[in-house]
Amino acid sequence: MVPGSESIQPAALERRAPRISYRHEALAAVLAETGTLAALGFGAGAPLHDDPRYLPVPLEGMEAPTPLEVWQVDGEVEHGREGALRWSAGAGWLFAAVDLDEHAHGGPRATAELAYRLLREFLARRPEQHVQRIWNYLGAINQGDGDAERYKLFCEGRAAGMGEFFREGFPAATAIGHHGAGHHGAGHHAGGQQLQVYLLACDQPGQRVENPRQVSAWRYPRQYGRTPPSFARAMALPGQDVLAISGTAAVVGHSSAHEDDLDAQLAETLANLETLLAHAGMPAGFDTHSPLKAYVRHAADAPHVLGFLAARLPGVPVLLLHGDVCRRELLVEIDGWRYA
């Protein structure tokens, strides 16, 4: 199914992928359902709850009301906390998240290194060691110039914190800048200095998928920083029933395309997504079961992005979030899931 995957082993256990949905429901009701592995709230208005499966994400929704994102598995879910890390696990799947204040840990590089070390050390003690998908949200992502840009420092710290844990290949990922408003429950966090990293892992490996229109991120040339970004373009989850799609933008080869042209960037992003689906052996197009997120740099662009996606991807659930792509010339990025 996945090109270049000559050694797919028959899975010892079929791991049906988590169902991901956007839901306008009460958080307590969602958490009370059997099989709820994680629930994500967005922005300053997100609900408050102590359950470790609930993560308030520091990105604002751009359409009110903003739904919860809910991850559900087949079976009972256990959960807990260890210091800055919270986790849940069930049916072979694991959710884990860390939220760190950069002020307390020495800036973006050291904080990213710590976040990845904490996650890696936790995973090393778990049966679910195969990380499929990671999201990274940091403040002021484009601040600083050249190698001192905060995103590039984050990339250095991430690679250091990963150590040898990902030597067989990187997970699919997203890295987006938040606007630092901070959650009303974030307590000690100075909003703009919050680093949040969360992930989905499984007790079986997935299959990494690259995009033939794009240079693999870990091979980006020196101009993009001392340490290239550590992610795969997508991951076919172990059951081969879902493609987890990394943050995808108007990058062709290794270059940003269509500077300052929102429509052209959106069209190029969709072309990249379609190529990724084809290369993963999946049917073309997205559908009503395949939720996407669109991260939009300028709030004023939200209606236009919504209109574009409604026309080009009718019926596809899209959550619009206010977030900055890690290259300052890029205005929009899309990630999500494609169910087979």
- Give, as one character, the DSSP assignment of residue 105: H
Residue 244: closest CA among 231, 227, 257: 231
Binding ligand 3EB by CB under 6 A: which of 27, 70, 175, 236? 175
Among positions 293-332, residues that touch ligand 3EB (CB under 6 A) are 326
Asked if 229 touches ligand 3EB (CB under 6 A), the answer is yes
| H helical segments located in the chain | 27-32, 102-105, 107-123, 150-162, 262-279, 302-312
Contact 225, 156 (CB under 8 A): yes
Tokens describing residue 37: 């592995």
Instruction: Indicate the residue among 114 and 234 with the shorter CB distance to ligand 3EB.
Output: 234
Binders of ligand 3EB among 242-281, rule CB under 6 A?
246-247, 249, 251
Interface residue with ligand 3EB among 119, 138, 173, 331 (CB under 6 A) is 173
CB of 232 to ligand 3EB, least distance (A): 9
Whole-number minimum distance, CB 167 to ligand 3EB, in Å? 18
- Return the range that interacts with ligand 3EB (CB under 6 A); candidates 25-33, 102-110, 168-176, 198-206: 168-176
Determine contact, residues 202/130, Cβ cutoff 8 Å: yes
Stretch that binds ligand 3EB, among 42-50, 65-73, 116-124, 173-181 (CB under 6 A): 173-181
Residues 68-127 that bind ligand 3EB (CB under 6 A): none
For 31, the token pair is 């958490």
Question: Which residues are designated catalytic?
Answer: 333
**Cβ of residue 315: shortest distance to ligand 3EB, in angstroms?**
25
Query: How far is Cα 69 from Cα 71, in angstroms, rounded to an integer?
Result: 7
Which residues does 167 contact at the CB level (< 8 Å), separation at least 6?
none
- In whole angstroms, the minimum distance from the beta carbon of 135 to ligand 3EB comes to 9
CB of 125 vs ligand 3EB, minimal distance in Å: 25
Residue 227: left if φ>0, alpha if ψ -120 to 50, beta else—which one? beta
Backbone angles phi, psi at 162, to 5 degrees: -65, -30
Buried b (16+ CB within 10 A) or exposed e, 309-322: beeebeebbbbbbb
Phi and psi torsions of 225, nearest 5°: 130, 165
Binding mask 189-228 for ligand 3EB (x = CB under 6 A): ----------------------------x-----------
Tell me which of 111, 174, 193, 240 binds ligand 3EB, using CB under 6 A: 174
Q: Which residue is nearest to ligand 3EB (CB)?
A: 247
Q: How far is the CB of 247 from ligand 3EB (least distance, A)?
A: 3
Q: What's the token pair of residue 8?
A: 């797919």
Nearer to ligand 3EB, 31 or 321 (CB): 321
Phi, psi of 211 (to 5 degrees): -110, 115
Q: Which residues bind ligand 3EB (CB under 6 A)?
A: 136, 173-175, 217, 229, 231, 246-247, 249, 251, 326
